[in-house]
Amino acid sequence: MTIESFAVEAQQLSRDYVSTKRSHILGRKTTTTIRALDHIDFEIDEGELFGLLGPNGAGKTTTVKILCTLLEPTGGHAFVKGYDVVKDAARVRKIVNMVAGGERMLYYRLTGRENLRYFADLYDVPKKEVSTRVDRLLELVGLIDRADDEVEKYSKGMRQRLQICRGLINDPEVVFLDEPTLGLDVNIAKDIRKFIREKIVEEQGKTVLLTTHYMYEAEEMCARVGFLSKGKLVAVGHIEELKRKMPTGFSMEVLVTRLTDETLEGLRRLKKVKRVLITDYEGEAEGEKIDRLIINVDSDAAAPEVLDYMSTMHCRTISVNIRGPTLEDLFMFFTGEP
Amino acid sequence: MFWRVVVAEMKKNVRQFFFSRATLVWAFVLPLGNGLYLYFLYFPFVTKSVELEFNASTYTLDLVGFTLIGQLLYSFFVMVMVVGAAFDREREQGTLEALLLSPANRMAILLGGALASAVWYMWMLIGVLFSWIGFFQVNIIINDFLALFTSVALSYLSLVALGMCLEALFIHSRRGVMYGTMLQEPIMFLSGLIFPLQAMPRGLLVFSYLIPLTFGLISVRLTLLGGASMFDVAVPLGILAFMTATLFILAMWLIGYAERQAKVKATLTQF
């Protein structure tokens, strides 16, 4: 079965992981099944940069590995450019590539250039083109001056840039980027995001599936996203469309100390308040722990009432920020996860 | 594309192995050390020769040469085990997924990895020959060079095929190295690497004849030290050729099976 209208399509895709354990070396085997993906459906158009978002363990990497043929699904189907990722795996491998953040996928004892030439051979890149393509890619990511140094001498950011070169060596039609900026410092991550958006998508017109748990990253790069939570795809669509689905138009981000359960309950009962979430925040003010509240309200006019109530409950407000919904708000709204 | 992948894989493995000069010294010194160890192991015995019964004939072979040929093939066997663990190393260093993500022919990857051992082995061989000529005075009797060449080549190919089978197993499971090591000692013992097979209890000989290395050792020893002709070693060479072909076919099946199982059981990144 082939579906040719989308670059990538998942139909009721599921994946279970089965692990067996013994209590001790001669003990009885116990089997546990964990559902990493639970009947997910989504499509990605040609030339689109689609974001798959979710916290760690949501099923993002599992989805990517199935789509690039490194893992078999336990249920459902997936297609890349119309090819079934299980039945036509050999064809799929020719037209895709994958870059994973925080993972090696490179040979550290070889130089950057040797790594790329090796992968060019594996992908059967025309011999006449290899040198030009390798140099062009190294130049694109700014590694041409260090091309003949062993990868073990590269910094983390340089290795990640070389990984991107490896991911593009076969000129893939579909690129899977699995948390490509994981663990990188702010400036390098910014450069890589810019490179992906401008060079890979806008200039070369490739289809990209980006997975990330950094909401700002997806907001900066993608027009359309999907939210994965505990293996389920809870929402898919254009960010603006999804924002319109939120029943409340504004969010108050409030940093407070002396927050009690009673205050939280009281806040939730206020008429203009639609939803209150408490999220982790690391910090103290005058020796007291700071909590971060995201309060969804009808309008910005609700703010004084909320702040008055908190004051009467002896909370100390450190800062207040009122804004329209962000991708993080959307994620929390659809998944219920802070 | 097949041979392009084979060559790329060979180059990568050789480059990774000879990343430092110390590995060159190691590969040179190891056979010399093994040779000395075997020489002095037999030193207390007065005899200077060993009798090898084969095909209703008895060949009298130089004792030191006999043990050194065992050591020569043992060194290569160790190499094959090292190369066989290539996929396991790829898994540990986080490159196995990048390798299997590519459309490269899996047999070509296996073959390239196994052939890389030939390059290392050639270097080791220089160490072995150096020790033969420079230190031990081995009595070599060669009457048929073609028979000698065929014996060495088939022994080499059978070990390459065995290495490929082991390598395929290593994709599937991180226990591959353990299985490989478990095989190492019985193969050494049963194939007659160190002592003549006639010294082996009869019941165990059945297992000896299931190992290709046994036939490789017989034919190399007879053609290099006993002056045997192609006709004399036709039977062990025929069996060796059959076993080698079977192992290559087994490797082809194993690689497909192991990759599929690894994708079903999600073991590609476990280590």
**Cα torsion for B102, A130, A155, B101, to the nearest 10°?**
0
Q: Does A119 touch chain B if contact means CB atoms closer than 8 Å?
A: yes
Closest CA to A89 of A73, A106, A75, A105: A73
Contact: B101, A69; criterion CB under 8 Å: yes
- Write phi, then psi, for A289 (nearest 5 degrees): -70, 135
Do A158 and A300 have their domain in common? no
Q: Report the half-sphere exposure of A156 (CA within 13 A, side-chain side).
A: 13
* Residue A267 near chain B (CB below 8 Å): no
Instruction: Specify the residue for token string 């994620």.
Output: A331
Phi, psi of A138 (to 5 degrees): -65, -35
Residue B261 forms contact with A (CB below 8 Å): no
Q: Are strands A224-229 and A49-53 parallel, antiparallel or unpaired?
A: parallel
For B5, which of A71, A114, A121 is closest by C-beta distance? A121
Q: Tell me which of A154-163, A177-186, B57-66 is least confident.
A: B57-66
* Domain range summary for chain B, segments of one domain joined by +: 2-265
Q: In this prediction, what percent of chain B has a pLDDT beyond 90?
A: 17
Q: Is the dihedral of CA A232, A37, A241, A186 positive or negative?
A: positive
Q: What is the pLDDT of residue A138?
A: 93
Buried residues in B104-134 as b, exposed as e (16+ CB within 10 A): bbbbbbbbbbbbbbbebbebbbebbeebbee
Chain B CB contacts of A118 under 8 Å are 8, 11-12
Amino acid, single-letter form, for residue A218 = A
- Can you give the residue range of the structural domain that contains A252? 248-326
Q: Ranked by mean pLDDT, which of A169-178, A199-208, B104-113, B163-172 comes out on top? A: A169-178
Q: What is the mean pLDDT of residues B247-257?
A: 89
Mean pLDDT throughout B128-149? 77
Residue in this structure with the two tokens 């989805």, named with its chain if needed: A63
Q: Are residues A180 and A101 in the same domain?
A: yes
Contact in structure between B60 and B49 (CB atoms under 8 Å): yes
Within 8 A of A103 by CB-CB distance, chain B residues are 94, 97
A123 and A187 housed in the same domain: yes
In this predicted structure, what is the pLDDT of residue B31?
66
pLDDT at residue B210 is higher than 70: yes
- Going by pLDDT thresholds of 50, 70 and 90, the confidence category of residue B181 is confident
In this predicted model, which residue has the larger pLDDT, B162 or B243?
B243
Measured CA distances, A144 to A126, A140, A215, B63, B91 (Å): 21, 8, 32, 58, 29
Is residue B258 classed exposed, middle or buried when 0-12, 13-18 and 19+ CB atoms within 10 A define those classes?
buried
Q: What is the mean pLDDT of residues A285-310?
A: 85
Distance of CA A101 to CAs A176, A184, A203, A217, B224, Å?
11, 9, 23, 14, 55
**In this model, does residue B41 exceed pLDDT 80?**
no
Q: Is B104 an interface residue toward A (CB < 8 Å)?
A: yes
**pLDDT for residue B270 is more than 60:** no
Q: How far apart are CA A296 and CA A319, in angstroms?
A: 16
Which residues on B lie below 8 Å from A114 (Cβ)? Answer: 12, 15
Assigned domain for A58 exists:
yes
DSSP H or E run through B248:
helix B234-265
Q: What is the pLDDT of residue A178?
A: 92
A114 touches chain B (CB under 8 A): yes
End-to-end C-alpha distance for chain A, whole angstroms: 40
Chosen for mutation from A62, A121, A124 (greatest number of chain B CBs closer than 10 Å) is A121
Distance between B13 CA and the closest CA of chain A, angstroms: 10
Are A105 and B263 inside 8 Å of each other by CB? no
pLDDT of residue B271 exceeding 50, the answer is no
Chain A residues in contact with B264 by the CB 8 A cut-off are 72
Residue range A23-31: average pLDDT?
A: 79
Q: Are residues A135 and A194 in the same domain?
A: yes
Q: Are residues A192 and A261 in the same domain?
A: no
pLDDT tens for A103-157 read 678 999 999 999 999 999 999 999 999 999 999 999 888 899 999 999 999 998 8
Residues of A in contact with B100 (CB under 8 A): 70
The Cα of B26 is separated from the nearest Cα of chain A by a number of Å equal to 18
Regarding predicted confidence, which is higher, B270 or B44? B44
Within a domain: A207: yes
Residue A139 lies in a domain: yes
Summarize the confidence of residues B21-35 as an average pLDDT. Answer: 73
Q: Which of A243, A273, A308 is the last residue of a domain?
A: A243
In this structure, is residue A101 part of a structural domain?
yes
Token pair of B123 as six digits: 């270097």
Among A40-49, A249-258, A286-295, A321-330, the range with the most confident prediction by mean pLDDT is A40-49
Among the residue ranges A176-180, B32-36, B216-220, the one predicted with the least confidence is B32-36
| A185 and A294, same domain (yes or no) | no
Residue of B nearest to A169 (CA): B102
**Which CATH number fits the domain that encloses residue A197?**
3.40.50.300
Reported ipTM: the value is 0.78
DSSP class of A150: B
pLDDT over 80 at A312, yes or no: yes
Residue A285 confidence (pLDDT):
81
In what order do the strands lie in the sheet containing A29-44? A29-44, A8-22, A75-80, A83-84
Domain count, chain A: 2
Q: What is the pLDDT of residues A65-115, one digit of tens each?
A: 999 999 999 999 999 999 999 999 999 999 999 998 866 789 999 999 999
Q: Binning pLDDT at 50, 70 and 90, where does residue A4 land? A: low
Do A139 and A179 belong to one domain? yes
The answer to whether residue A267 sits within a structural domain is yes
Bigger pLDDT: B129 or B98? B98
| Residue A96 within any structural domain of the chain | yes
Q: Do A292 and A226 lie in a common domain?
A: no
The model's confidence at residue B83, banded by pLDDT at 50, 70 and 90, is low
Distance of alpha carbon B21 from alpha carbon B18, whole angstroms: 7
Does A94 contact chain B (CB < 8 Å)? yes
The answer to whether residues A141 and A283 belong to one domain is no
> Does the pLDDT at position A171 exceed 70?
yes
Asked if residue A89 and residue A197 are part of one domain, the reply reads yes
CA atoms within 13 A on the CB side of B52: 28
The pLDDT of residue A300 is above 80: no
Predicted TM-score of the model (pTM): 0.80
**Axis crossing angle, helix B234-265 with helix B145-172, rounded to the nearest 10:** 20
Mean pLDDT of chain B: 80
Q: Which of A98, A106, A108 sits opposite B101 (nearest CB)?
A: A98
How many whole angstroms separate alpha carbon A236 and alpha carbon A218? 13
